[in-house]
């Protein structure tokens, strides 16, 4: 027997007929009543030989008349009140009805695998993974194992994970979009940062999110819609990844009846990968045009215009509001970008005109040495273009398309430095972007008092509305362009006029 001393004081021992409760229920009653003040021992149990032995060990034998179908209530307590209360508690507990079983409490689904498993649909489904990069692989692998495509928004995913995931996806006949994929449109559903654009025949494969946004918005403006925008992640066309995602996305669009033409939007691919993608493209039934940004290649707007020409669609005049302050003598270019590809495009257009442009994401490595990526300091003199959406600047904070704080601070510093400057910025509208970017940017531009040019990437159908934003920015004195290339050229014109 256990270590507790034999019960002392008052006792109640009774045998009841016609009462039955499950042994577990009775153990629970014994425990609850035994926990009352002044109660030293309790045994409420059917009077089986085993339980009678237990009762005897507690000094609470019922004497004669036992039977396994009678209920033994044996209680020892320190005084009359405690004993009476304990007996009453036993009676109450035995009479109590348990509350009816409600529905199961919701059990949280912890993994993509569990989430997909719980889906009631056999129709098209997609997983979106935005967990920290080092954990993304397991979630993405869940989707692939379930035969589902996955968009990996997470950054910081090791490249070897990316390669392994894309190989597995290829074998499973699904797509991995990303990692670090912020933009996609699947059958009209905008995932991440994407604009409200019309549906149509052009499929985009994008190794660049803002590049895809620029292209899809210009197409929309020209009256041409997209079938799907499949992001593949910025590293896909590197030597290490070998274009695994691009090749599968091209094949998927080739097989898609809604897609009649494909535009591939990217930063410059690794040469071997470019060749492989080109060869693969030639084997497809849909025509594929490439808009790969590199020195001397057409800018994104020119690539869109070429595609429109392929389709026999007239090129519209891209919307703009082209009035701004003149540049001061000796002004330099200060590019404050949220979109990496748009920043690249601006530098590619500016470099032949202005010479070296410093950056945290420079065209040539040596041009980045004066810009500390962990402390974006535009007080460095001369032409500078900063990509505030670069991973190094988004650690622990939201993307500048959502949180404009860093860019607005930088704008104020440029103005305060006294260095004559033309400010070039992008503002990206659409799903995922801030609800009214002009509301904070327009006053900041007004306060800066500098000549400013804004590449406003969006459509009228976007929640923020292109014209509404353009008018607010123009009212603050900025020139506004739907084309980033046009915006950049306008800034260069302002600088040229000031020489």
Cα–Cα nearest to 407, from 459, 366, 448, 368: 448
Strand-pair category, 189-192 with 183-186: antiparallel
Q: Binding other proteins by CB under 8 A: which of 131, 280, 313, 370?
A: 131
Stretch of 121-129, 297-305, 365-373, 388-396 lying at the interface with other proteins (CB under 8 A): 121-129
Among positions 60-79, residues that touch other proteins (CB under 8 A) are: none
Q: Between 229 and 487, whose beta carbon lies closer to other proteins?
A: 229
Please give the Cα distance from 462 to 251 (Å, whole number): 30
**What region does 312 belong to: left with phi over 0, alpha with psi -120 to 50, or beta?**
left
Nearer to other proteins, 209 or 269 (CB): 209
Indicate whether 434 belongs to the interface with other proteins (CB under 8 A). no
Residue number, 65 or 123, with CB nearest to other proteins: 123
38 part of the interface to other proteins, by CB under 8 A: no
Q: Supply φ then ψ for residue 319, to 5 degrees.
A: -60, 145
Q: Which is nearer to other proteins, 88 or 255 (CB)?
A: 255
Is the Cβ of residue 189 or residue 392 nearer to other proteins in the bound state? 189
For 280-347, the three-class secondary structure string (H helix, E strand, C coil) is: HHHCCCCCEEEEECCCCCCCHHHHHHHHHHHHCCCCCCCCEECCCCCCCCCCEEEEEECCHHHHHHHH
Looking at the Cβ atoms of 52 and 456, the one nearer to other proteins is: 52
**Coil, helix or strand for 261?**
strand
Select from 42, 82, 457, 487 the one that contacts other proteins (CB under 8 A). 42
Cβ-based nearer residue to other proteins, 210 or 360: 210
Instruction: Indicate which single residue of 11, 36, 198, 431 sits in contact with other proteins (rule: CB under 8 A).
Output: 431
**Residue 105, Cβ density class (10 Å: 0-12 exposed, 13-18 middle, ≥19 buried):** exposed
Please tell me whether residue 34 binds other proteins under the rule CB under 8 A: yes
Answer yes or no whether residue 20 interacts with other proteins by CB under 8 A: no
* Shorter beta-carbon distance to other proteins: residue 155 or 390: 155
- Tell me the closest approach of the beta carbon of residue 391 to other proteins, in angstroms: 15
Among 149, 208, 221, 360, binds other proteins (CB under 8 A): 149
Among 73, 82, 85, 174, binds other proteins (CB under 8 A): 174
Give the pairing of strands 384-387 and 332-337: parallel
Residue 216 or 359: which CB sits closer to other proteins? 216
| Binding of other proteins by 188 (CB under 8 A) | yes
Contact call for residue 159 and other proteins (CB under 8 A): no
Q: Does 205 bind other proteins (CB under 8 A)?
A: no
- Candidate residues 432, 437, 451, 458; the one interacting with other proteins per rule CB under 8 A: 432
Residue 95 in contact with other proteins, rule: CB under 8 A = no
Long-range contacts of 220-223 (CB under 8 A, 24+ apart): 220/195, 220/459, 220/461, 221/316, 221/318, 221/319, 221/459, 221/482, 222/304, 222/308, 222/313, 222/314, 222/315, 222/316, 223/198, 223/313, 223/316
> Is residue 206 within the footprint of other proteins (CB under 8 A)?
no
497: left (phi over 0), alpha (psi -120 to 50) or beta: alpha
**At closest approach, how far in Å is the CB of 240 from other proteins?**
16
Contacts of 292 (CB under 8 A, 6+ apart): 264, 265, 266, 267, 268, 269, 274
Give the start-end residues of each E strand in 219-284: 226-231, 261-266
138 counts as binding other proteins under rule CB under 8 A = yes
Closest to 203 measured CA to CA, from 307, 273, 128, 344: 307
**Least Å distance between CB 291 and other proteins?**
21
217 binds other proteins (CB under 8 A): no
Binding of other proteins by 226 (CB under 8 A): no
Of 227-266, binders to other proteins (CB under 8 A) are 227-228, 252-253, 255-256, 258
């Amino acid at each position: 027997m256990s270590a507790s001393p034999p019960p002392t004081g008052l006792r109640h021992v009774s045998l009841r007929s016609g009462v039955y409760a499950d042994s577990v229920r009775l153990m629970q009653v014994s425990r609850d009543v035994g926990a009352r003040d002044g109660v030293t021992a309790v045994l409420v149990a059917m009077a089986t030989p085993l339980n009678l032995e237990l009762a005897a060990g507690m000094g609470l034998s019922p004497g004669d008349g036992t039977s396994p179908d009678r209920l033994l209530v044996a209680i020892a307590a320190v005084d009359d009140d405690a004993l009476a209360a304990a007996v009453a508690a036993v009676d109450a507990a035995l009479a109590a009805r348990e509350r009816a079983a409600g529905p199961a409490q919701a059990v949280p689904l912890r993994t993509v695998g569990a989430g997909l498993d719980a889906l009631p649909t056999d129709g098209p489904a997609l997983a979106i993974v935005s967990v920290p990069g080092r954990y993304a692989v397991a979630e993405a692998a869940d989707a692939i194992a379930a035969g589902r495509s996955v968009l990996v928004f997470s950054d910081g995913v090791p490249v070897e994970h990316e390669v392994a995931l894309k190989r597995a996806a290829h074998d499973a006949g699904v797509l991995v979009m990303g990692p670090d994929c912020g933009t996609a449109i699947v059958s009209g559903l905008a995932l991440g940062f994407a604009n409200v654009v019309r549906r149509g025949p052009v499929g985009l494969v994008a190794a660049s999110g803002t590049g895809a946004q620029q292209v899809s918005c210009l197409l929309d403006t020209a009256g041409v819609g997209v079938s799907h925008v499949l992001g593949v992640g910025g590293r896909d066309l590197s030597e290490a990844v070998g274009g695994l995602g691009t090749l599968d996305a091209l094949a998927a669009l080739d097989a898609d009846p809604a897609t009649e033409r494909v535009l591939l939007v990217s930063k410059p691919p690794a040469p071997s990968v470019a060749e492989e993608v080109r060869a693969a493209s030639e084997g497809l039934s849909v025509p594929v045009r490439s808009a790969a940004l590199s020195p001397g290649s057409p800018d994104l707007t020119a690539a869109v215009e070429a595609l429109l020409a392929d389709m026999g669609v007239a090129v519209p005049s891209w919307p703009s509001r082209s009035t701004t302050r003149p540049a001061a003598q000796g002004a330099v270019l200060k590019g404050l970008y949220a979109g990496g590809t748009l920043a690249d495009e601006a530098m590619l257009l500016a470099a032949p005109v202005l010479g070296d442009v410093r950056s945290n994401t420079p065209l040539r490595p040596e041009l980045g040495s004066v810009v500390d990526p962990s402390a974006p300091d535009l007080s460095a003199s001369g032409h500078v273009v900063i990509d505030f959406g670069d991973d190094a600047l988004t650690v622990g904070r939201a993307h500048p398309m959502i949180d404009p704080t860093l860019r607005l601070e930088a704008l104020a510093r440029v103005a305060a430095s006294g260095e004559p400057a033309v400010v070039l910025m992008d503002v990206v509208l659409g799903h995922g972007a801030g609800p009214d970017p002009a509301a904070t940017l327009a006053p900041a531009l007004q306060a800066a008092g500098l000549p400013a040019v804004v590449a406003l990437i969006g459509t009228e159908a976007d929640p923020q509305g292109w014209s509404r934003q353009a008018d607010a920015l123009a009212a603050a004195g900025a020139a506004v362009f739907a084309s980033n290339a046009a915006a950049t050229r306008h800034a260069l014109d302002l600088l040229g006029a000031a020489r």
